[in-house]
Amino acid sequence: MDDGRSTRISKYLSRHLRHDPARIGITLDPRGWTDIGELLAAARRDGFPISRAELDHVVAHNDKRRYAIDPGGTRIRASQGHTVAVDLGLPPAEPPASLFHGTVARFLPAIRDEGLRPMARRHVHLSADRETAARVGARRGRPVILTVDAAGMHTAGHVFHVSDNGVWLTAAVPPAFLRLPAP
């Protein structure tokens, strides 16, 4: 499958498994799973047919491992990034000393004042390494990498989870736990 088709399928899945399942008539269970057969039928009705082979390819080859198929091979969900209410069932996890967040300069004034907030998502997304954070930030322009004192947050009682694809999740990051570039 060509990369353009894979990208279009991935974006389609992201929209419907993370943000708007009702748009194509699918439902997510409380853990974010939906039946693959129902998803493929809904996509076909929506004028965006996806074969099971294409779906499996996108899940297996997505560089960020955005999607997971259950061990039985009958259900799929997004690994994180939901704006709809789901509980991925991720246990609390002790984070490394530092985590990273990629952003762009235009958001720094608000981040300095308010810290990192989930905005429309359920959690703030953090990366375990600078390189991943830089790729995330580069989606919106020249990336600025913020360092999060994750150990300090954890000691202060903030809860972290790590998604199946290695993204660290937390409710918010207060400004006191951020190292930002000088204004």
Question: Which tens digits make up the pLDDT trace of 47-83?
Answer: 999 999 999 999 999 878 889 999 999 999 999 888 8
Domain-embedded: residue 93: no
| Number of domains the chain is built from | 2
| Residues 106, 72 share a domain | no
| Residues 174, 104 share a domain | yes
Beta-bridge mates of residue 162: 168
| More confidently predicted of 21 and 136 | 21
Quote the domain boundaries for residue 134: 98-179
| Residues 137, 109 share a domain | yes
Q: How many CA atoms lie within 13 A of 97 on its CB side?
A: 0
| Residues 150, 116 share a domain | yes
Beta-bridge mates of residue 98: 149
- Which single residue is written with the structure tokens 């965006």? 48
| Residues 102, 72 share a domain | no
Query: Structure pTM?
Result: 0.81
